[in-house]
Structure 1
Amino acid sequence: MVEAVTQGMPILRLADVQTHIGPYHILHGVDLEVPRGGVTMLLGRNGAGKTTTLRTIMGLWQASAGKLEFDGVDITKRHTPAIAQLGIAYVPENMGVFADLTVAENMRLAARGGPVDEQRLDWVFRMFPALKIFWHQRAGVLSGGQKQMLSVARAIIEPRKLLIVDEPTKGLAPAIIQNMIAVFRELKQTDVSILLVEQNFHMAKSVGDTVAVMDNGKIVHAGRMAALAEDEALQQRLLGLSLAAHQ
């Protein structure tokens, strides 16, 4: 079931995207639209193809068929650096921080080697005060939650059109998850659009505006996140569980 959720051109559109990794056919014709503004949740059972979809968007794996379009530009055959330069930031599941560099050095690299905008850095520190405390410490000594804060902070230290994040709350303590919810709610008030893969359904319900559900390498449902959160029968059919049981 696919429900119309927006008007106007989406910032990101995937049309019949297929991806092979070696001999394995992972994506079987993904049709996905990410509206401008707000948060689009990409949900699905383990192995449904969510991370492969994100990596295909970023050009880390090349689509074997179909079309990917970002902000009106065909990115299907573009390489990762060229895609990032269009205004997309990607936070992978493994966080992607440089453990041997300090927090400050990680942030400077994310600013593409230029000076970090002090006003924007103060804004980041308000969301992630621990990063200011550990500014001169190596990223490798941070806790898991602090590393996740750093990974998200790196992605937003410069203005972006689209932020793609893969499971930002995985393995985090409840207090850190609440902090992440607050951060994404604040990001929703800016100009950035967000595509978010998440297994924590309290997080999904709290920040998601629209939702797409994957199964077996395809999108099987798209609509409003609030509508999915209110329909336990649909949750059971699409995800095999109830969101109410995972608050």
Structure 2
Amino acid sequence: MNATNDQSDILLQLDDVHTHIGAYHILHGVDLAIPRGQLTMLLGRNGAGKTTTLRTIMGLWQASQGRISFDGQPITALATPDIARCGIAYVPENMGIFGDLSVRDNMLLAARNAPNADAIDGKRLAWIFGLFPALEKFWLHPAGKLSGGQKQMLAVARAIVEPRRLILIDEPSKGLAPAMIANMISAFRELKQTDTTILLVEQNFNFAKQLGDSVAVMDNGRIVHRGAMAELAEDAGMQARLLGLSL
């Protein structure tokens, strides 16, 4: 069930991570290794602990036990801004964009090394516009006026406006029309070619199987399966057992 990775190939590692939110014990000893340069899907039923895992990695919720390491260095006790400075970006399920600000100003806020919009790396911006043409079209428009799919594009674009070593993304296809999901799949395929490591939470199994290199499945706050995404995609019985899917 578990693939063995050389430790040097692991960018992010969670060892026996527990998270409490108030009186609730959400993560019950999560063990998870994210291979460098791969897109890892984190799957599971609603309430399994997937979003809590991402938020704990980012320090938005503090692990109450266990260790989180990024490129071999402990980050468990770091504050969220310090974790971000390590080269980790987070795209939350609610997208986290600023609706009153323009698309340009949303991008500028994410481009920490650019004092103004003209200082954003032009070559990288052109690449992002190639992925998400609507962002160039609505560059000066308030982000709150974008469609749901365009807001999701902006949320992902903010995460990649500067090179990141790891991107955590929570349900990017949620609520999107099929054409917008196809666009998002194409964008992630191109992003994978840049050797960016991605940990992606998703409920849409068709989306997941088209993009994932490796997969981890959560249930009741624990990782219950690890392996190749292709293996899970080909095994309907395993899907039904782990995810309750009948495809």
Residues of 2 paired with 1:102 and 1:5: CA distance? 46
For the pair 1:163 / 2:167, whether they are aligned, the reply is: yes
- CA drift of 1:38 comes to 1.8
For residue 145 of structure 1, what is the aligned residue in structure 2? 149
For residue 230 of structure 2, what is the aligned residue in structure 1? 226
For the pair 1:177 / 2:176, whether they are aligned, the reply is: no
Q: State the Cα RMSD in Å.
A: 0.9
Q: Mark the runs of 5 or more structure 2 residues left unpaired by the alignment.
A: none
Equivalences for residues 1-247 of structure 1 within 5 A:
2-4=1-3, 6-9=5-8, 10-112=10-112, 114=114, 115-242=119-246, 245=247
- CA drift of 1:113 comes to 5.7
The DSSP-based 3-state class of the residue aligned with 2:215 is strand
- CA drift of 1:7 comes to 3.1
What number of residue pairs does the alignment pair up?
242
- CA drift of 1:4 comes to 1.1
Q: Mark the runs of 5 or more structure 1 residues left unpaired by the alignment.
A: none
Residues of 2 paired with 1:124 and 1:144: CA distance? 18
- CA drift of 1:72 comes to 1.3
Query: Any runs of at least 4 consecutive aligned residues in structure 1 with deviations exceeding 6 A, and if so which?
Result: none
Between the aligned residues of both structures, percent identity stands at 68
Q: How high is the TM-score relative to the length of structure 1?
A: 0.96
Residues of 1 paired with 2:204 and 2:111: CA distance? 30
- CA drift of 1:5 comes to 5.1
Going from structure 1 to structure 2, the CA distance change for 1:132 and 1:5 (only over 3 Å counts) comes to farther
Residues of 1 paired with 2:174 and 2:138: CA distance? 22
Q: In structure 2, what residue type is equivalent to 1:187?
A: L
The DSSP-based 3-state class of the residue aligned with 1:11 is strand
